Amino acid sequence: MQPTMSSMLTDAATLMAIGMLSVFLFLVVLTLLVSALTKLAPMPASAGNEKRSSSQGTQSEAGQPNAAQMAAIATAVTQYRAAHESPARD
């Protein structure tokens, strides 16, 4: 039952060869398909803007914040997170 040392080494070597081959095969196929994919589904010119405006549309009508507001916001979020993370037994 117990395999000999040399047969195990042969098994391991075969495994290495087949394994690396398969990994490369798999990821090369993936490379080709992803290349095709990114060509078939290219980046629309306005995608970046579209995303931003859609998130604005669903969440806020407030427009772009000015610098002062931005500072307040950053602090608010920081504070909120700090408060959120400091646990209190209730």
Partner 1 sequence: MEDLRTLWLNTGVANLEWGMVLMVVVGAVLIYLAIRHKFEPLLLLPIGFGAILANIPLAGLAEPGGLLYYIYQIGISTGIFPLLIFLGVGAMTDFSAVLANPKMFILGAAAQFGIFATLIGAVALNWVPGMEFTLEQAAAIAIIGGADGPTAIYLSSQIAPELLGAIAVAAYSYMALVPVIQPPVMRLLTSKKERQIKMQQLKPVSKRAKILFPLMVLIITAFLLPTAAPLVGMLCLGNLLRESGVVDRLSNAAQNEIINVVTIFLGLAVGAQLSASAFLNVQTLGILLLGAVAFVIGTAAGVLMAKLMNVFSKDPINPLIGAAGVSAVPMSARVVNKEGLAANPQNFLLMHAMGPNVAGVLGSAVAAGILLALVS
Nearer to partner 1, 27 or 77 (CB): 27
d(CA 66, CA 61) in angstroms, rounded, equals: 14
d(CA 10, CA 18) in angstroms, rounded, equals: 12
d(CA 37, CA 31) in angstroms, rounded, equals: 10
Q: Name which of residues 16 to 75 contact a second copy (CB under 8 A).
A: 55-56, 59-63, 65, 69, 71-75
Stretch that binds partner 1, among 27-35, 59-67, 72-80 (CB under 8 A): 27-35
Q: Which of partner 1, a second copy, none does 78 bind, CB closer than 5 to 8 A by kind?
A: a second copy
